[in-house]
Structure 1
Amino acid sequence: MTTRTVMHAMRKACLAVTVAAMTATVAIPSFVTPAAAQGPESVADLAEGLLGAVVNISTSQNVKGSEGPNTVPMPKLPEGSPFQDFFDEFFKDRQGGRGGEGGSRKVQSLGSGFVVDAEQGFVVTNNHVIADADEIEVNFSDGSKLKAELVGTDTRTDIAVLKVDPAGKKLTAVKFGNSDTIRVGDWVMAIGNPFGLGGTVTVGIVSARNRDINSGPYDDFIQTDAAINRGNSGGPLFNMQGEVVGINTAIISPSGGSIGIGFSIPSALASGVVNQLREFGETRRGWLGVRIQSISDEIAESLGLDSAKGALVAGIMKGGPVDNGSVQPGDVIIKFDGKDVDDTRDLTRIVAESPVGKEVDVVLMRKGKEETVKVKLGRLEDSTDTAEADDQDTGEEQNDVAPTASVLGMTLTELNDASRSEFGIAEDVSGVVVKEVAADSAAAERGIAAGEVITEIAQETVSSPKDVIDRIEALKKQGRKNALLMLAAKSGELRFVTVRMD
């Protein structure tokens, strides 16, 4: 077959396909409208009204010439070496001073931000954009520049608030929207300063919500495929109404460029932090004063719960709001101030967003029964010294020789002066000491280590190796597959683990 014959056959085939497509009936699901299927026709009008509120953040920091992990030492040259002048000039330029000693160099970085108050000149950005900066400058879309002062930062959410003096300049501001109303698949628009280019608009959708990327205690990111690159940090993520629903903060990228996986702090979290930084220059978060851990399927089964939901209280902090017995280790918090608690992240975030001093209702499961307790919240920032256990000697005397027993791969012994001294166990810890753990045992699989103390089994206190064995046998007779152990570290910090009994 000649080339011309082949081309003629291909044209006939294409014509047949075209005619078939014109005569066929295309089925479109009734719930998808043509406009929704195509996406927004244009975001030009929306972008035009928002570009003026988005700014570039330029920072500078003076660094000593001899500082930094990449500092290269000045080589030692023979007296009168012809290369002396060359190396002197090279290291003076590179490290900010002759031989890198006593000089300094200015390091600059770029990021993004947005104006939230045009009259007072408040600007929001990321904390990591301005961290350690000596000077901060805000660059506007019209080319003007203003020096900025730092109002306050919050490292836990990576948010910072700056202030500029408009000095007669008319600024454009944007407002926070409600990120709780956005859905996966909604269109969003990012504006920022990628790679220092400035005024860059990208469009995408909300790819996912409630993402935890292990960047902080309040991770609840919006994931988007709108292009976000280096320099976009601190810039806004808009919905199609022009409201800020997120602050662009992080990306996942092996290359450093956008691969369609970017993360934004939701406005529902960010707006409260921004308001506190504007008012107080710092955050004032609620504090419950409990140590919590996630509930696995095994723990849920051991506690008799219908599902692995809630936050398990693993310990109570001394001097905290619930150090009065209202909440106890082993309780499972399922609702806080009227909001459902599905996991530990929910509880951490809801408590932090609650006002200091507020009295709230806490719904919890205690030994299979639902109870409601009222708690007055403390302040998280005041709680840094209350988490450690008291480790002072009480002078109590106990027998030095204690019986031992073996169960679930653990060798157990009574807690007395000898075992406290051997493992450095705090005086306020009570229970049964784990003396040894057999390799490849059920206890070893759960990370139980020698020196830990079993304080409870299935929410019943134990004080001797015999108590432990009796509780294990009782659980086996009940048909339980796992034993729920509350363990205390040598400092007194508690955690729950489940150990297989088969």
Structure 2
Amino acid sequence: MIMKKITSLLAVSVLAGTITLGAYKLFLEEKNYHIITEDSNASTFTTSNTPVSFRGAGINEVDFTSAAENTVNAVVHVKNVSIDQEQNRVLQFFYGQSVSAKPQVGTGSGVIISEDGYIVTNNHVIDNATQLQVTLNNNKTYVAELVGTDPNTDIALLKIDAKKKLPYLAFGDSNSVKVGEWVLAVGNPFNLTSTVTAGIISAKARNLDMSNKSQSFIQTDAAVNPGNSGGALVNTNGDLIGVNTAITSRTGSYVGYSFAVPSNIAKKVVDDIIEYGNVLDGILGISTPKVNSRYAVENGLNEIDGVYIEDVTEDSGAFEAGLQSGDIIKKTDEVEIHKLADLNGYLSSKRPGDTIQIAINRDDEEIIKPVILKERQTIIIEGLGLEVKNLNDKDRKKFKTKNGVKIIGVPELYRMYNLEGKVLIAVGKKEIKNVYDAKNLFSSIGRYGYTSITMVNEKGERERLIFQ
């Protein structure tokens, strides 16, 4: 009897409490609720005032094994044997170039990009080589032929004859890589066999100010050390998105920064070398103010999001498309342009004759201009620093020559020779037809080698100089 009374009392108490709480929630409590729909695209919901994602943790598991396995077999060890001729010039004159010649061995990496043995590497890996050897991941060694180089992008192309199909990497689209994306760096650091390191894309279109305005690197935090140069930077699919090139370090070893030539640039250089024997640059035809110069700072040009056009070259693609001084380039095709390295990086993947759509800001109005890129007319010869340009009809008539390049810029070191304004027609016994011939012929001269150059002055007289 007593238990029944207690049970009844407890039930009445619970019911009363429930009714009281319900009445409070219904009539008295301030409404503070959120409607959650079944929208599958929603990525966050809100509790109180703090956004919270319901997607869970980030990438819990990243599998690099497949990409690594495919990459290590396509990355090779490159050995560069060169002769360092640090000889006494008097002894060299009397006894020949063999006196005190010391063989020097440099090493780096390369990436097989076709089953028939084409290999991409860095120009600085094979520079001045008298012999090139390539060792595959299976320890087989081959003598490599140098097909061509482009010091401007630090890319070189080699070829080996393996008598069989080789594993290779396909080029990926470096324009589509994103900051924060996982990548693998594969190479041969410190003369080790193929080594794989992982990191993320730290930045794109990085300009290292290496006396080369046209460079535009991918920056990663994957460990890259001496010997990695020329190796592969791949995404998790195993696609080649860059050629590892440089590190920034006070010690000479990796300290957190490494840089790679984007695959779109490397592929364009390789294709040009194979098809044309030269790298054909698609020139836009604009000049921009120097970054951080007093003029740029005082006029607020450093704060512009985009590329400010200071001047437009006459008869260039930009000139014919109607680009003007003061325009700000914001986009090329589908690539957003925030700084000069973005623009130069994209242009480095284009050829003369290509048409690109350029979006500019002019007086706060967005205008899209189709621009046909033109062939490069001037070039600076690597090593000598001479600036030369292709001849026009007026030059050919004046100097009485069909071929050659006109010297339009001379560094201080060579000004005593009165070279400026003359036409360079031959290096050694090889004739020069255009600026690409000049670049290739001078780049083939060894660091300590000698060569003769033949020029024509305004009187049509030939002059010859010996250069070292």
TM-score tier after normalising by the smaller chain length:
0.5 to 0.7
Which residue is equivalent to 1:203? 198
| Equivalent residues in 2 for 1:220-231, closer than 5 Å | 220-231=216-227
> Corresponding residue for 1:171?
166
Deviations 1:125-181, CA, capped at 9 Å, x for gaps: 1111001111111111112111111112122221111111122x3411111222334
Closer/same/farther in 2, CA of residues 226 and 370 from structure 1, 3 Å limit: closer
Consecutive unaligned residues of structure 1, counting only runs of 5 or more, are 1-27, 75-94, 388-502
Partner of 1:247: 243
Is 1:115 matched up with 2:108? no
Matched residue of 1:191: which SS?
Answer: strand
> Which residue in the other structure is 2:81 paired with?
60
| Equivalent residue letter for 1:350 | Y
CA distance in 1, matches of 2:364, 2:202: 39
Give a deviation string over 1:297-325, Cα, whole Å, max 9, x none: 9979979x9x7233222223355344569
CA contact (8 A) 1:122 1:161 kept: yes
Change (3 A) 1:205 1:324: closer
Whole-angstrom distance in 2 between the partners of 1:328 and 1:50: 46
Cα deviation for residue 46 of structure 1 reads 3.9
Equivalent residue in structure 2 for 1:266, among 243, 262, 275: 262
Q: Name the CA distance, whole Å, in 1 between partners of 2:84 and 2:57.
A: 57
Change (3 A) 1:59 1:101: closer
Partner Cα separation in structure 2 for residue 209 and residue 156 of structure 1: 19
Alpha-carbon offset, residue 29 of structure 1: 6.8
Say how many residue pairs are matched: 328
Match of 1:332 among 328, 342, 367: 328
Decide whether the 8 Å contact of 2:117 with 2:159 is kept in 1. yes
The structure 2 residue matched to 1:183, chosen from 174, 178, 183, is 178
CA distance in 1, matches of 2:183, 2:233: 7
In structure 2, the CA distance between the partners of 1:180 and 1:65, relative to structure 1 (3 Å rule), is closer
Asked if 1:357 corresponds to 2:387, the answer is: no
Shift of the alpha carbon at 1:372? 4.8
- Taking a change above 3 Å as real, the CA distance of residues 317 and 165 of structure 1, as seen in their structure-2 partners, is same
Relative to 1, partners in 2 of residues 1:151 and 1:370: Cα closer, same or farther, differing over 3 Å?
same
Instruction: Return the alpha-carbon distance in structure 1 between the equivalents of residues 365 and 341 of structure 2.
Output: 23
**Contact 2:220 2:258 (C-alpha < 8 Å) held by counterparts:** yes
Structure 2 CA distance, aligned partners of 1:231 and 1:67?
Answer: 32
What is the SS of the residue equivalent to 1:117? coil
Conservation of the 8 A alpha-carbon contact between 2:359 and 2:367: yes
Instruction: Name 1:33's counterpart in structure 2.
Output: 57
Match of 2:69 among 18, 37, 48: 48
Moved more, 268-277 or 192-201: 268-277
Distance 1:181 1:360, change over 3 A: closer
1:139 pairs, out of 135, 144, 156, with 135
Contact 1:237 1:246 in 2 (8 A): yes
User: How far off is 1:337 after superposition?
Assistant: 4.4
Residue deviations 1:474-497 (CA, integer Å, cap 9, x gap): xxxxxxxxxxxxxxxxxxxxxxxx
Change in 2 beyond 3 A, CA 1:302/1:259: closer
Contact 1:295 1:311 in 2 (8 A): no
Contact 1:63 1:107 in 2 (8 A): yes
Change (3 A) 1:336 1:182: closer
Distance 1:203 1:324, change over 3 A: closer
Distance in 2 (CA, whole Å) between partners of 1:338 and 1:376 is 16
- Give the 3-state SS of the residue equivalent to 2:351 in structure 1: coil
Q: 1:355 to 1:29 in 2, by over 3 A?
A: same
Unaligned 5+ segments in structure 2 are 1-51, 380-386, 391-468
Report the AA paired with residue 204 of structure 2.
R
Contact kept in structure 1, 2:307 and 2:338, CA below 8 Å: yes
Q: Distance in 2 between matches of 1:373 and 1:241?
A: 36
Q: 1:330 Cα deviation (Å)?
A: 3.2
CA distance in structure 2 between the partners assigned to 1:111 and 1:67 by the alignment = 30
- What secondary structure sits across from 1:177 in the alignment? coil
Shift in CA distance, 285/123, structure 1 to aligned 2, threshold 3 Å = same
Native 8 Å contact 1:126 1:160 kept in 2:
yes
- Alignment match of 1:313 (pick from 309, 316, 322): 309
CA distance in 2, matches of 1:325, 1:204: 42
* 8 Å Cα contact 1:65-1:102 kept in structure 2: no
Bigger drift between 108-117 and 177-186 goes to 177-186
Deviation of the 1:368 alpha carbon: 5.7
In 1: Cα distance, 2:367 partner to 2:202 partner? 38
Q: CA deviation at 1:241?
A: 1.5
Q: Does 1:256 align with 2:252?
A: yes
- Give the corresponding residue for 2:338: 342
CA distance in 1 between partners of 2:344 and 2:87 (Å): 42
State the Cα distance separating 1:381 from its structure 2 match: 5.6
Which residue in 2 is equivalent to 1:292?
Answer: 288
Q: Distance in 2 between matches of 1:319 and 1:268?
A: 28
Equivalent residue in structure 2 for 1:159, among 155, 161, 180 = 155
SS in 1 for 2:113: strand
- Tell which deviates more after alignment, 53-62 or 368-377: 368-377
Distance 1:57 1:202, change over 3 A: same
Is contact 2:215-2:344 (8 Å) kept?
Answer: no
Residue 91 of structure 1 corresponds to none
- How much has 1:345 moved relative to structure 2? 2.4
1:196, 1:336 → 2: CA distance? Answer: 41
8 A contact 1:300–1:308 mirrored in 2: no
CA distance in 2, matches of 1:331, 1:220: 22
1:55–1:112 contact (8 Å) kept in structure 2: yes
For the Cα contact (< 8 Å) 1:295–1:308, is it kept in 2?
Answer: no
Deviation larger for 338-347 or 198-207: 338-347
CA apart distance, 1:279 = 2.1
Q: Runs (4+) of structure 1 moved beyond 6 Å?
A: 294-303
Check whether the contact 1:337–1:362 (CA below 8 A) recurs between aligned residues.
yes
